[in-house]
A and B are shown apart, each in its own frame.
Chain A
Amino acid sequence: MCLAVPGRVLDVEDRDGTRMATVDFGGVVKEVCLEYLPDLKPGEYAIVHVGFALQKLDEDSAKRTLELFETLGLLQEEFGDPWEAAEAAVSEWQTQDDVPGEVRP
């Protein structure tokens, strides 16, 4: 949950008096609030946490981090369906014999 994911601003607009943007996280597009980084412009990168841009990031390090998160499955964890994840976790443990050594490759 504490994960903050770098994303690229696609476009910016004012909605109900709130500065909002659509942001691309390596293919997943989300609505993000820019109230804490109001100067962020399309094409720029920022660290986003629970739908809020918190700090600017340069393109290189943003891309590198995104790549790493993608390989580690962290993007799926952050943006996937949490009910599915919780259900999967429950059934995974139920089908296992609770032998920790055999949990995951």
Chain B
Amino acid sequence: MKYIDEFQNPDLARRLLDDIRATVTRPWALMEVCGGQTHSIIRHGIDQLLPPEIELIHGPGCPVCVTPLEMIDKALEIASRPGVVFCSFGDMLRVPGTGRDLFQVRGQGGDVRVVYSPLDALRIAEQNPDREVVFFGIGFETTAPPNAMTVHQARKRNIRNFSLLVSHVRVPPAIDAIMRSPDCRVQGFLAAGHVCSVMGTAEYPELAQRHQVPIVVTGFEPLDILEGVRRTVLQLERGEHTVENAYQRAVTAEGNPAAQAMLSDVFEITDRAWRGIGVIPDSGWRLSDRYREHDAEHRFSVEGIDTREPAECRSGEVLQGLLKPNECEAFGTTCTPRSPLGATMVSSEGACAAYYLYRRLDAGTPGQRPPTAAGVAASETPSPATVSLEGSSLA
């Protein structure tokens, strides 16, 4: 159990918690979409500080975790080829493909390099015109614009030996898929703050309305999460389901228009498979025709690689909030960070890794309640979804 004194501002944390306690009258299940939020919640024990009526369900927002096994295998294949410099963010190094990972490919002589920014990979391409430089473009709406800009630059500056292995995903179709699932218990969403820094909030009112579910844009720091929970619970108790912005210091309603424009120039929307979950319609981006020349899948003819995921790994259920990591049979036994079965056990944003790291070992750990009955429908009287932008109580 964590203590509230460890918060950056314990007084504010206490006030937020008191307010939540005073508001809540019945059980509610909220999903935090982003893996960064999941880690913050588990690390600070926020789920254990909240009143027992509130359950936090961990969402699919870890880009490393949802990158399909097939795509990892394509990356491993390309990275093993002679003449290739394969560049990636560090998080992907230990994500298991079929039988090995990028870390091992490098040990076997593959030229795998870790970069901080996709522009670093472009620079490597420019400096090594005789090599094929490939960047592994994974991530949500936060990471897609940097990668889009990099391909755009490659084309503009005619750097032809640069290509992108694209596995980008979009949050709103995932929220839609989660709400459509017959097993869904989610009654409110803490939307991912930095995704909204780029995309704004325009995609959410329709979702909130259609599924009668409050969506509150929330940051990553402990107090941000408490504020996101507070606002979501308030809406639920009032029978409302609107979009609110509880992360105003980093999110505006319109997001970053320049980044959005670049996204729609470089990418087009496509169906995308999510690791463990399967294909979600319209949930990803691929390079548009103009940029096909820079598409690594095309350039290295790896489109045909098709792999099956190990059945023991239940990360698909974990990512949809249907199962807590410590309820998976393999958790901590056949699956550990040292020999992971799924990406959720090695990614710095993976829920299984968070539970392992912060010792949420048994399914009975306090704060990990067994699934409650689906709860009461949010509201009988639908009200129009609006974007509320009142000031946050967090500066």
Contact = CB atoms under 8 A, between A and B. Distances in A.
A98 B336 contact: yes
A55 B259 CA distance: 10
Residue of A35, A52, A79, A101 with highest tally of chain B CB at under 10 A = A52
Interface in A15-66: 16-18, 30-31, 33, 35-38, 47, 49-52, 54-55, 57-58, 60-61, 64-65
Contacts, number: 141
Nearest to A71: B8
B285 interface: no
B249 A1 contact: no
Contacts of A82: 89-91, 93, 114
B116 A30 contact: yes
Contact of A33 (B119, B142, B252, B359): B119
Given A1-B348, A35-B149, A50-B118, A93 B336 contact: yes
Contacts of A64: 8
B217 interface: no
A1 B347 CA distance: 9
B291 interface: no
Interface string B82-117: 000000011101100000000100000000001011
Interface string B247-290: 00111100010110010000000000000000000000000000
Given A54-B142, A54-B194, A100-B361, A37 B149 contact: no
A38 B357 CA distance: 40
21 contacts: A1-B139, A2-B34, A2-B62, A2-B192, A16-B157, A31-B119, A35-B258, A36-B149, A36-B262, A49-B142, A50-B89, A50-B117, A52-B146, A54-B197, A57-B250, A58-B249, A72-B43, A83-B90, A86-B93, A100-B359, A101-B361
Interface of A: 1-4, 16-18, 30-31, 33, 35-38, 47, 49-52, 54-55, 57-58, 60-61, 64-65, 67-68, 72, 77, 79, 82-83, 85-86, 89-90, 93-94, 96, 98, 100-101, 103-104
Interface of B: 8, 34-36, 43, 61-64, 89-91, 93-94, 103, 114, 116-120, 139-140, 142-143, 145-146, 149, 153, 156-157, 192, 194, 197-198, 221, 249-252, 256, 258-259, 262, 332, 336-339, 346-349, 356-357, 359, 361, 395
